[in-house]
Amino acid sequence: MDRRLSEKSDNGISPAIATLLIIALTLILCAILAACLMHYSYTSLVPSSSNPPEILAIESVKHYNNNGQLTYASNVTLRNIGTEPLWNSNYSAEVYIDDTKQFVIINTLKADEFIPTHHYGIKNLFGSGPTGYEWEPGNTGVLDLEDGTIQPGFTLRIDIIRKEDGEVISRSIYQVE
């Protein structure tokens, strides 16, 4: 018997099916990758805490100087109402008046480190909280802002920011009287 040799192979390879399988596999992998990236980009754009807790709370705003004269002294007293101490060197603060960020530079909450830093809009930082390494629960501290910064009727907001990641860990809002 003669063996017939043909130009076509009988080994069952189908280029069309292989191409369709490769395209299907590629589309599935692209869909999985897109789903992962959309989740990642969504979580990185949305703050982890849109309404941070109040750890350092505004207790009062003093408008009078030490002589009893009305100077709108803008002395803001903060109290740690949290349950854990804050490591003062690891945090900075931002000041907002009526939801407008003020040009007040507070790069540290530690009084000893605050003195030699470049600060603007604030004269001093003192009290039992900022003195030392940790701001213990119950302790208070005073942000002595420039006179006239805060007036009655303003809504004052102070955000405490963790330096390592820029996250707001405490937000206190106070209606100034």
Q: What are phi and psi of 152, to 5 degrees?
A: -60, 140
> What's the mean pLDDT in 138-164?
95
Residue 34 CA to its chain's centroid (Å): 27
- State pLDDT tens for residues 94-147: 999 999 999 998 999 999 988 877 778 899 999 999 999 999 999 999 999 998
State the Cα–Cα distance between residues 61 and 149, nearest whole angstrom: 11
Tokens read off for 141: 């501290």
* Residue 74 buriedness (CB in 10 A; 0-12 / 13-18 / 19+): buried
Q: Are 140 and 129 in contact (CB under 8 A)?
A: yes
Global pTM exceeds 0.75: no
* Residue 128 buriedness (CB in 10 A; 0-12 / 13-18 / 19+): middle
- State pLDDT tens for residues 13-31: 677 888 888 999 999 999 8
H or E element that contains 30: helix 15-45
State the Cα–Cα distance between residues 38 and 35, nearest whole angstrom: 5
Q: Which residue has the tokens 């390592």?
A: 164
Question: Mean pLDDT score of the chain, rounded to an integer?
Answer: 87
